[in-house]
Chains A and B, each alone.
Chain A
Amino acid sequence: MAARPMLRTFRGRSITSRIASLNHRFLSTLVLAEHEGGSIKAPSVSAVEAAKSLGKDNSVSVLLAGSGLSLQKAAEHAASCHPSISQVLMADSDKLVHPLAEPWARLVHLVQQKGSYSHIIATSSSFGKNILPRAAALLDVSPITDVIEISRSHQFVRPIYAGNALCTVQYTGSNPCMLTIRSTSFPVATIADSSRSNAATISQVDLSTFGEGATSKSKYITQTSQNTERPDLGNARIVITGGRGLKSADNFKMVEKLAEKLGAAVGATRAAVDAGYVPNDLQVGQTGKIVAPELYMAFGVSGAIQHLAGMRDSKVIVAVNRDADAPIFQVADYGLVGDLFEVIPELLEKLPDKK
């Protein structure tokens, strides 16, 4: 009696595995990349690293869009920045100067129709999150957000509930399988320029069919960027974060000083941002940036779950807080119960200069 259901499961499994192996055979990935100032951004290189871990015989193409000389330079950089890249596609158009979702999604649709990729990957940056789901809808597939681990070519792990649970999902739909990856989960080994003997080919995307009906319904007006000389929060080796405990924007300068001394990036909690101590692009957490530096130092941070979601993968976490019961101490490797207004000056005095 028991044999029949067993047989059924067995049969079912062999079919899925056949589909999986079929998918496996034709791996080709398109990476949607961001570029700035003539080179491709570091998180986009992590997306290439993620593409590499999808399977062995994966041919990786990188799609860049923009216009003119800076695009040309970025394409050249992309062609030699990672040994797994076999092709760089360059979409040169005035409509793509700013990374607006509408033309980008159409571009992805166009390139997919020609290239029939098995996977399309972008980073979980504001760029990737804005564009990839729209492109996925045009291609009628479900995208997968914020992948932190690739188990198989169609099976991924991603955090849910602010990182309080990990969900393994299997993509069972048709090609392409579309995902955004958390770049800190796919670190790129530093590759010497010389290790790349021949650069990938660069080709232009044929945009002749792109122009029609392109009277754009969205216009780029302006961008205000928070220019800092410190390392980028998303990629810094050390992050120093301040919370509500700093009490004022003036006091926050102590955190900045300490960061300068260590060559670190500055982060903040939502409370510190809402109180106006720092601009919002410094926010670390579920609704801000996700960081995973080697060293994360939190000053006056209580450790709400929304904040922990953004930094719990840091290698070493240091917490300084007056309240010994603050939840941050549960994730901290080294905790110091004390007044940050005494601790930070002491650290400033005793820490070695890194710069």
Chain B
Amino acid sequence: MKIMVAIKRVVDYAVKIRVKPDKTGVETANVKMSMNPFCEIALEEALRIREAGLASEVVAVSMGPRQCADTLRTGLAMGADRGIHVDSPDALYPLSVAKLLKALVDVEKPQLLILGKQAIDDDCNQTGQMVSGLLNWPQATFASKVVLDKQNQAVTVDREVDGGLETLCLDLPAVITTDLRLNQPRYATLPNIMKAKSKVIKKYTPQELNVQIKPDLEIVQVTEPPKRKAGVIVSSVDELIEKLKNEARVL
């Protein structure tokens, strides 16, 4: 069985982002970029399934500009067997990504597609749901535990939902999106980074996959959130209670 994992190149989570002065977006030039943290978890889960002998191959996929190949290389160093890069200079919204992923699934025929639950740049939380809709595969979003049953071609997933955990059982092929607590992603070791250099990254364009990119969203502007007015440091619990009662009137 083959597993496909989608990974996204985003501004590193530790970077304090800056909004461009012309309000067209967020400054991404000369900013540290990394693999989206939820995608790392998705890849880690795929690798663990392979290491448990339940899958034969893990294929990492990324979409976007040229530099996405670097992110794929990181994925290969973590242990993915090969990479696929869909080269697109345009901004890709989740609907387009989902269509491209569907086209790749049709080519590669994986039994399991794992994605992160959301990218930390656009915070959309849509792609996994959309691609499973397009494929008409069952979906398990926000997974915190995945148990594969190869014999019955099914997977049992614990999902983090409001108010607790929900357990679902999906027939394969299926789509899973990962939540933070699913696992702790591994670091790439130096020998594996070296090995990754000889692994294959296949390139496609959206045209080659017969997918038309027609965005139906337009970004009007990107602004900074309103600043909160400066607060005060109180010196004692009494003063705090007094302020909350008489100044803020919330008690």
Contact residues of A with B, CB < 8 Å? 100-102, 105, 125-127, 129-138, 140-146, 155, 158-174, 216-226, 234, 238, 262, 270, 273-274, 279-281, 286-287, 289, 294-295, 305-306, 312, 315-318, 324, 329, 331-337, 343, 346-347, 350-352, 354
Contact = CB atoms under 8 A, between A and B. Distances in A.
A281 B164 contact: yes
Nearest to B129: A133
Contacts, number: 245
Contacts of B165: 223-224
Contacts of B232: 333-335
A234 B163 CA distance: 10
Interface string B87-110: 000000111001000000000000
A336 B237 contact: yes
B231 A317 contact: yes
Interface of B: 11, 13, 16-17, 19, 26, 93-95, 98, 117-118, 120-127, 129-134, 137-142, 144, 156, 159-171, 174, 179-181, 215-225, 228-229, 231-238, 240-241, 243-244, 248, 250-251
A221 B231 contact: no
A166 B225 contact: yes
A281 B158 CA distance: 13
Given A161-B11, A162-B123, A218-B140, A334 B248 contact: yes
Say whether chain A's binding surface is mostly helix, strand, loop, or mixed. Answer: mixed
Given A134-B133, A334-B240, 10 more contacts: A126-B159, A143-B126, A144-B217, A160-B122, A161-B11, A170-B217, A216-B138, A281-B164, A295-B251, A333-B229
A165 B225 contact: yes
Contact of B221 (A129, A168, A294): A168
Contact of A234 (B13, B162, B225): B162
Contact of A137 (B133, B171, B235): B133
Contacts of B169: 218-219, 221
Contacts of B139: 101-102, 130, 134, 218
A134 B162 contact: no
A306 B16 CA distance: 11
Contacts of A144: 217
A270 B169 CA distance: 27
Given A173-B217, A223-B164, A164 B222 contact: no
B237 A347 contact: yes
Contact of A165 (B98, B140, B223, B233): B223
Nearest to A352: B251
Contacts of A140: 95
Contacts of B174: 217-218
B243 to A, nearest CB: 6
Contacts of A134: 129-130, 132-133, 139
Contacts of A305: 16
Contact of A316 (B13, B129, B250): B250
Nearest to A306: B13
A45 B232 CA distance: 36
A201 to B, nearest CB: 30
B171 A172 contact: no
A169 B217 contact: yes
A150 B180 CA distance: 30
Contacts of A226: 163-164
A223 B167 contact: yes
Contacts of B121: 160-161
B216 A141 contact: yes
A225 B163 contact: yes
A332 B224 contact: no
Contacts of B216: 141-142, 171-174
A172 B224 CA distance: 24
A273 B165 CA distance: 14
A316 B237 contact: no
Q: Enumerate the 6 nearest inter-chain pairs by beta-carbon distance, A residue then B residue, closest first.
A: A173-B216, A137-B133, A218-B138, A137-B130, A133-B129, A133-B126
Contact of A126 (B16, B134, B142): B142
Among A100, A102, A306: residue with most chain B CB under 10 A: A102
Contacts of A172: 215-218
A167 B162 CA distance: 26
A309 to B, nearest CB: 8
A346 B129 CA distance: 48
B123 A161 contact: yes
Contacts of B223: 165-166, 168
A295 B120 contact: no
Given A280-B181, A316-B250, A335-B232, A133 B133 contact: yes
A158 B222 CA distance: 10
A224 B221 contact: no
Contacts of B160: 126, 280-281
Contacts of B123: 145-146, 158-162, 286
A127 B248 CA distance: 35
A355 B46 CA distance: 49
Of B179, B222, B240, chain A has the most CB atoms within 10 Å of the CB of B240
B225 A312 contact: yes
Contacts of B240: 318, 334, 336, 347
B138 A217 contact: yes
Contacts of B138: 102, 216-218
A305 B95 CA distance: 28
A161 B171 contact: no
B231 A332 contact: yes
B162 A350 contact: no
